[in-house]
DNA sequence: ATTAATCCTATCAGTTTAATAGGGATTACA
DNA sequence: TGTAATCCCTATTAAACTGATAGGATTAAT
């Protein structure tokens, strides 16, 4: 299941991409338009900024803006920042690999085999989609 | 993330498929071979039985057995029983649909669009894999 | 100065997960 | 007929996670 954090984050990014003026976009404006609790959204945008996807301007007339063109922001990157690993099992994750406690040999594990396929098919979607695709009407 | 319940369930099904004698397979045997807490596994096999995927025999020399040929047990069915919805968002689920609170119109939702694609690509894996594929060496 | 914004930390209630516990019911077989 | 083996069922628990809230510190424009 997709967390609300990720869902809100994707919506916020889309909103910022759509309002592509020069001015940064206020958190309050996004929260209001997308029905997101403002304080919760604040923390989400903060992590997006720390990850490098967003920039921010403090103080009056401040807000958030994209650091790259929407067409250059891959869903793989966004999802890994917001949701974490794309793989369903750590032993199959490219960026967050971890060995399983219970598996003596993961090359003989039936779950492993299946989850590699799921990972690859999910990756093929996220690698071929950018924020530009999301913000199209 | 895949729950341990699902992971253990898949391993257990694979184990039963591999030991395809006539006799039912004991929970204890599966638990020991696959490093799964026995009591936990009991409850998992119980839900698999209630879903119709497994049959059971009580008492001495009892155990669990497959109700269909491994090649006829689709991963879509197994995953839905163990893990629940295959979609990452309820508003995109075929079998567990639910409307989002926050979305006024899901046809204009950027997240919705993306998650439909992820659902379809994941489904294409699960629809084309059966328990027989998992139990191949 | 005042105002409007981001930034940061802490906290909280609710839910879910993984596991454990204890015993009931059923069957094989000596 | 008794006993051991096995599935069946319900309840409980500790830990982790999620979604949200609270309160203020910091920064910048006017």
- Give burial (CB, 10 Å; 0-12/13-18/19+) of A43: exposed
Who's near A67: CB < 8 A, 6+ residues apart? A52, A53, A54, A55
Calculate how close chain B gets to A59, using CA atoms only, in Å: 29
DSSP B26: P
The 3-class SS string of chain A reads: CCCHHHHHHHHHHHHHHHCCCCCCECHHHHHHHHCCCHHHHHHHHHHHHHCCCEEEECCCCCEEEECCCHHHCEHHHHHHHHCCCCCCCHHHCCCCCCCCCCCCCHHHCHHHHHHHHHHHHHHHHHHCCEHHHHHCC
What residues of A are in contact with residue B110 (Cβ under 8 Å)? 10-11, 14, 134-135
E-only strand ranges, chain B: 54-57, 63-66
B60 touches strand D (CB under 7 A): yes
Supply the pTM of this predicted model. 0.94
CB atoms A88 and B1 under 8 Å: yes
Kindly report, residue by residue over B57-111, the tens digit of the pLDDT: 999 999 999 999 999 999 999 999 999 999 999 999 999 999 998 888 999 999 9
Query: Nucleic chain C: which protein residues 34-73 of A have CB below 7 A from it?
Result: 39, 42-43, 45-46, 49-50, 56-64
Per the structure, the residue whose CA is closest to nucleotide C29 at C1' is B60
Closest CA to A1 of B78, B10, B87: B87
Q: Residue A35 CA to chain centroid, in angstroms? A: 19
High-pLDDT (> 90) share of chain A, %: 93
| Cβ–Cβ under 8 Å, residues A117 and B125 | yes
B63 touches strand D (CB under 7 A): yes
| Cβ–Cβ under 8 Å, residues A91 and B2 | no
Please give the Cα distance from B33 to B4 (Å, whole number).
16
Calculate how close chain A gets to B25, using CA atoms only, in Å: 18
pLDDT value at residue A137: 67
Partner residue opposite A122 with nearest CB, options B118, B135, B137: B118
Overall average pLDDT of the B119-127 stretch: 98
- Residues in B whose CB is inside 8 Å of some CB of A read 1-2, 7, 10-11, 14, 34-36, 75, 85, 88-89, 101-102, 108-111, 113-115, 117-118, 121-122, 124-126, 129, 133-135, 137
Is pLDDT at A21 greater than 80 in this prediction?
no
| Distance from CA(B35) to C1'(D14), angstroms, rounded | 22
CB atoms B134 and A113 under 8 Å: yes
| Cβ–Cβ under 8 Å, residues A122 and A86 | yes
Please give the Cα distance from A73 to A59 (Å, whole number).
26
pLDDT value at residue A22: 80
Kindly report, residue by residue over B17-49, the tens digit of the pLDDT: 999 778 999 999 999 999 999 999 999 999 999
Kindly report, residue by residue over A76-121, the tens digit of the pLDDT: 999 999 999 999 999 999 999 999 988 989 999 999 999 999 999 9
pLDDT value at residue A101: 87
Is pLDDT at B134 greater than 90 in this prediction?
yes
């Amino acid at each position: 299941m997709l967390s609300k954090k990720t869902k809100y984050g994707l919506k916020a990014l889309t909103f910022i991409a759509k309002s592509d003026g020069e001015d940064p976009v206020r958190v309050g404006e996004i929260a209001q338009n997308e029905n997101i609790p403002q304080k919760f959204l604040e923390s989400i945008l903060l992590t997006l900024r720390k990850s490098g996807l967003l920039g921010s301007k403090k103080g009056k007339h401040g807000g958030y803006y994209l650091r790259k063109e929407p067409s250059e922001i891959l869903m793989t990157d966004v999802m890994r920042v917001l949701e974490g690993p794309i793989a369903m099992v750590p032993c199959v994750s490219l960026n967050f690999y971890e060995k399983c406690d219970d598996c003596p040999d993961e090359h003989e594990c039936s779950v492993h085999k299946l989850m590699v396929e799921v990972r690859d098919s999910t990756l093929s979607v996220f690698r071929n989609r950018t924020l530009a695709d999301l913000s199209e009407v």
